[in-house]
Amino acid sequence: MGFSQQTDNVDFNTAKAHIVFGDLSKKEVTGTITYEFEILKAVDSVFIDANKVVFSNIVLHGLGVQADVEFHNDSNRLIIYNEFKKDERYELKFDYSTQPKKALYFIDWDTSTALSGTISNKQIWTQGQGKYTSNWLPSIDDMNDKIEFDLTITFDKDYEVIANGKLTNKQINDSTTTWHYDMQKPMSSYLVALAIGKYDKKVEYSNSGIPLEMYYYPEDSLKVEPTYRYTKQMFDFLEEEIGVPYAWQNYKQVPVKDFLYAGMENTSTTIFADSFVIDSIAFVDKNYVNVNAHELAHQWFGDLVTETSGTHHWLQEGFATYYALLAERHIFGDAYYYWQLYDYAQELLEQHKARQGTALLNPKSSSTTFYKKGAWVLHVLREKVGDEAFKKGVKNYLLKHQFKNVETDDFISEVEKASGQDLTNFVNTWLEGSGFLYEDYINPLKAASKEIAQMITLDDMLLVSSDGLDNKINRYWENAMYPRVKAHLFSKEMIAGVNHNILKKALKSNDLKIRQAVALSLSKVPLELKTDYETLLEDQSYITIKAALFGLWNSFPEEQNKYLNQTKDIEGFNDKNIRIIWLALALVSDDYNPENETAYFNELTDYTSPKYGFEIRENAFKYLLWISACAENCKENLEQATKHHNWRFSKFAKAMLKSMQ
Tell whether the torsion through CA atoms of 617, 621, 627 and 633 is positive or negative. Answer: positive
With bands split at pLDDT 50, 70 and 90, how would you rate the model's confidence at 111?
low
**Max CA pair span of the chain:** 91
**Using one digit for the tens of pLDDT, what is the confidence trace for 369-403?**
999 999 999 999 999 999 999 999 999 999 999 99
**Using one digit for the tens of pLDDT, what is the confidence trace for 187-213?**
999 999 999 999 999 999 999 999 999
- Beta-carbon contacts of 493 under 8 Å, excluding residues fewer than 6 positions away, are none
pLDDT on residue 112:
52
- CB burial readout 508-536, b (16+ within 10 A) else e: eeeebbbbbbbbbbbeebeeebeebbbeb
Residue 173 burial (10 A CB sphere; 0-12, 13-18, 19+): exposed
**Using one digit for the tens of pLDDT, what is the confidence trace for 540-558?**
999 999 999 999 999 999 9
Find out whether 61 and 69 touch, Cβ atoms under 8 Å. no
Find out whether 585 and 556 touch, Cβ atoms under 8 Å. no
pLDDT on residue 332:
97
**Using one digit for the tens of pLDDT, what is the confidence trace for 577-626?**
999 999 999 999 999 999 999 999 999 999 999 999 999 999 999 999 99
AA letter at 461: M
- Say how far apart CA 594 and CA 224 lie, in whole Å: 38
- Cα-Cα-Cα-Cα torsion 105, 107, 111, 113, nearest 10 degrees, comes to 180
- Say how far apart CA 446 and CA 453 lie, in whole Å: 4
- Beta-carbon contacts of 551 under 8 Å, excluding residues fewer than 6 positions away, are 519, 522, 523, 524, 525, 533
Secondary structure in 3-state letters for 233-278? HHHHHHHHHHCCCCCCCCEEEEEECCCCCCEECCCCEEEEEHHHCC
How large is the average pLDDT for residues 318-345? 98
How large is the average pLDDT for residues 44-56? 96
Domain residue extents for the chain: 1-192, 199-299, 305-447, 568-661
- CB burial readout 356-373, b (16+ within 10 A) else e: ebbbbbbeebbebbbbbb
Angle (deg, nearest 10), helices 512-521 and 500-507: 140
| Structure letter (DSSP) for residue 115 | S
AA letter at 312: H
At 283, phi and psi to the nearest 5? -55, -30
How large is the average pLDDT for residues 106-123? 68
The more confident residue out of 515 and 523 is: 515
CATH of domain 305-447: 1.10.390.10
Instruction: Give the number of residues written for the chain.
Output: 661
The answer on pLDDT for 519 being more than 70 is: yes
Do 199-299 and 1-192 have the same topology in CATH?
no
State the DSSP string of 286-345.
S-SHHHHHHHHHHTTBTTTEEESSGGGTHHHHHHHHHHHHHHHHHHH-HHHHHHHHHHHH
With bands split at pLDDT 50, 70 and 90, how would you rate the model's confidence at 64?
low
The answer on pLDDT for 448 being more than 50 is: yes
- Say how far apart CA 458 and CA 479 lie, in whole Å: 8
CATH of domain 199-299: 1.10.390.10
- Say how far apart CA 163 and CA 197 lie, in whole Å: 12
Alpha carbons within 13 angstroms on the beta-carbon side of residue 513 total: 13
Angle (deg, nearest 10), helices 231-242 and 314-332: 120
The answer on pLDDT for 67 being more than 70 is: no
AA letter at 264: M
Secondary structure in 3-state letters for 6-48? HHHHEEEEEEEEEEEECCHHHCCEEEEEEEEEEECCCEEEEEE
How large is the average pLDDT for residues 424-438? 94
pLDDT on residue 3:
44
pLDDT on residue 256:
98
Find out whether 223 and 216 touch, Cβ atoms under 8 Å. yes
Q: Which fold has domain 1-192?
A: Immunoglobulin-like (2.60.40)
Mean per-residue pLDDT of the chain: 94
How large is the average pLDDT for residues 283-312? 97
pLDDT on residue 492:
83
- Say how far apart CA 319 and CA 391 lie, in whole Å: 13
How large is the average pLDDT for residues 334-353? 96
pLDDT on residue 497:
66
CA separation, residue 129 to residues 251, 263, 369 (Å) = 19, 11, 19
pLDDT on residue 661:
84
With bands split at pLDDT 50, 70 and 90, how would you rate the model's confidence at 119?
low
